[in-house]
Structure 1
Amino acid sequence: MAALPSGLLGALDPTSDRAVFRQIADQLREAICKGQLQAGEKLPSEAELVEHYSVSRMTVRNSLSTLQGEGLVLAEHGKGVFVRSRPPVRRLASDRFARRHREQGKSAFTVEAETAGSHPEVDRLEVREERASADVAARLGGARRVLARRRRYLLDRRPIEIAISYIPLDIARGTPIAEPNPGPGGIYARLEELGHRLDHFDEELRATMPTPAEVKELQLASGVPVIRLIRTAYDTEDRAVEICDTVMSADAYVLAYRLPAT
């Protein structure tokens, strides 16, 4: 059997009160975090780990299961266990909704993707009129009927985000916003063309574990949480003109913000 790469894994601490399988998981996790095991790289096999640590196969499997639960690795039947690829999208809160991007015909997601050097896609889209939920109606100042735009975003063919925009029906009905493709710059560009010049956005952010439906739609590995972001867009008259409820795969995003010190 081939020896493990030099320095990749150390020895167990027999004096530690930490369970042996957790010590093994700790060492593998450290190797991943330090880049000794790169994204897509295969971990040492169960047999190699059993021999290296002189432990049972069940102990090794518990260690690997721990890393799977943390979303760090993926097991491929008959092939082995591999480090998960986790390409980040850098969201620049102070920049991604800048008017200059809309004037260039770019949506916020396109700007994010270009920042990451990746290819963006929308592979699922549904546009329909519906009754607003109590929460959406309250956020939109009492609007009871809305146009809902549901879509799933992919980055380099990987699902990373699902989003639903709600626009008051008195604004959206009969306009390009109600079309599957609203045109260059997205719905924000169309809102401004309709006279709703955007003034600011409020965002609420929280991390949660995904629902079964979100796990399926975002193809999430076990243990990967999601970021729930609710954004409200206001025009210069301080009217809420859109609510966007977004669920993002937490391992695909870095949220970067610049905050003033004064």
Structure 2
Amino acid sequence: MASIPPGVLGALDPTSDRAAFRQIADQLREAIDKGRFKEGAKLPSESELVEHYGKTRMTVRNALGILQGEGLTVHEHGRGVFVRPRPPVKRLASDRFARRHRDQGKAAFVVEAEAAGSRPEVDSLEVREERSTPDISARLGSARKVLARRRRYLLDGKPVETAVSYLPLDIARNTPIAEPNPGPGGIYARLEELGHELDHFEEEVRARMPAPDEVKTLRLASGVPVIHLVRTAYDTDGRAVEVCDTVMSADAYVLAYQLPAS
């Protein structure tokens, strides 16, 4: 049987009132946080951990279950337990919707992906007219029907985000915005071509645990929360021209903001 390298994991504290399986989970978590087990690396097997700690297989299994529940590890049947890769994407709130990107024909997600050195994709695209919900209607100024653009975003083939854009029909109907591919720069470039020069965006951000359908769509590991962001775009006349309801895998994003001090 292979042994765990010295110094990677310590010994349990028999005087602690913390249960053995929680102590084991603490040590494994610390080893992951400190890079002793890199992203994608295989953790010691149950047998190796049983031998190292002198505890039962069930104790070890409970410890591994804690890490999986926290989204730190993933169990691959027949192969073992691995440290879950968590590639961060840095979202620059003060920059990602800058007009210069639209002028270059780049939508915000493409800008974010390129900054992270990743390959962006969009799938599960659906565009249709539908009745607005009370919340979306209030944000758009009592629009009863909207054009909804639903899509899922992937980075290097992995789902990281879903988004639904809602636009007033009097703006979007029978325009390139209603097409699956609205063209270079995305829908914001088309809105400005239609005379709705963008003035500012308002965002509401909260963290929560995902709904079952979100777990499936984003292929979330157990214990991984989501970031729920609702953004409203306003033109220079003060009209709300789009509401974007976005759900992001929390372990794939870092939200970075520059805030004025005066």
- Aligned: 1:47 with 2:34: no
- Aligned: 1:213 with 2:213: yes
Task: Determine the C-alpha separation between the residues in 2 that align with 1:123 and 1:233.
Answer: 23
Cα drift, residue 117 of structure 1: 0.4
Alignment partner, residue 180 of structure 2: 180
Alignment partner, residue 74 of structure 1: 74
- Aligned: 1:7 with 2:7: yes
The alignment partner of 2:192 has SS state of: helix
Alignment partner, residue 234 of structure 1: 234
Report the AA paired with residue 115 of structure 1.
Answer: A
Cα drift, residue 2 of structure 1: 2.0
Cα drift, residue 124 of structure 1: 1.0
Cα drift, residue 5 of structure 1: 1.7
Could you tell me the TM-score, scaled by structure 1's length? 0.99
Cα drift, residue 261 of structure 1: 1.2
Alignment partner, residue 89 of structure 2: 89
> 5+ unaligned residues in a row in structure 2: which ranges?
none
Task: Determine the C-alpha separation between the residues in 1 that align with 2:144 and 2:8.
Answer: 59
Structure 1 residues 12-161: aligned runs within 5 Å: 12-161=12-161
The alignment partner of 2:31 has SS state of: helix
Cα drift, residue 6 of structure 1: 2.1
Report the AA paired with residue 131 of structure 1.
Answer: R
Runs of 4+ in 1 over 3 A off after TM superposition: none
Report the AA paired with residue 176 of structure 2.
Answer: P
Paired residue total: 262
Alignment partner, residue 201 of structure 1: 201
Question: Any idea what the Cα deviations from partners look like across 1:36-66, whole Å, max 9, x if unmatched?
Answer: 1011100000000000000000000000000
Cα drift, residue 167 of structure 1: 0.3
Could you tell me the TM-score, scaled by structure 2's length? 0.99
Task: Determine the C-alpha separation between the residues in 1 that align with 2:3 and 2:210.
Answer: 39
Task: Determine the C-alpha separation between the residues in 2 that align with 1:145 and 1:14.
Answer: 65
Question: Any idea what the Cα deviations from partners look like across 1:168-191, whole Å, max 9, x if unmatched?
Answer: 000000100000000000000000
Task: Determine the C-alpha separation between the residues in 2 that align with 1:185 and 1:149.
Answer: 15
Task: Determine the C-alpha separation between the residues in 1 that align with 2:143 and 2:215.
Answer: 31
> 5+ unaligned residues in a row in structure 1: which ranges?
none
Task: Determine the C-alpha separation between the residues in 1 that align with 2:261 and 2:204.
Answer: 21
Task: Determine the C-alpha separation between the residues in 1 that align with 2:2 and 2:206.
Answer: 46
Question: Any idea what the Cα deviations from partners look like across 1:217-244, whole Å, max 9, x if unmatched?
Answer: 0000000000000000000000000000
- Aligned: 1:246 with 2:262: no
Question: Any idea what the Cα deviations from partners look like across 1:138-159, whole Å, max 9, x if unmatched?
Answer: 0001111100000000000000
Report the AA paired with residue 29 of structure 1.
Answer: R
Task: Determine the C-alpha separation between the residues in 2 that align with 1:7 and 1:97.
Answer: 47
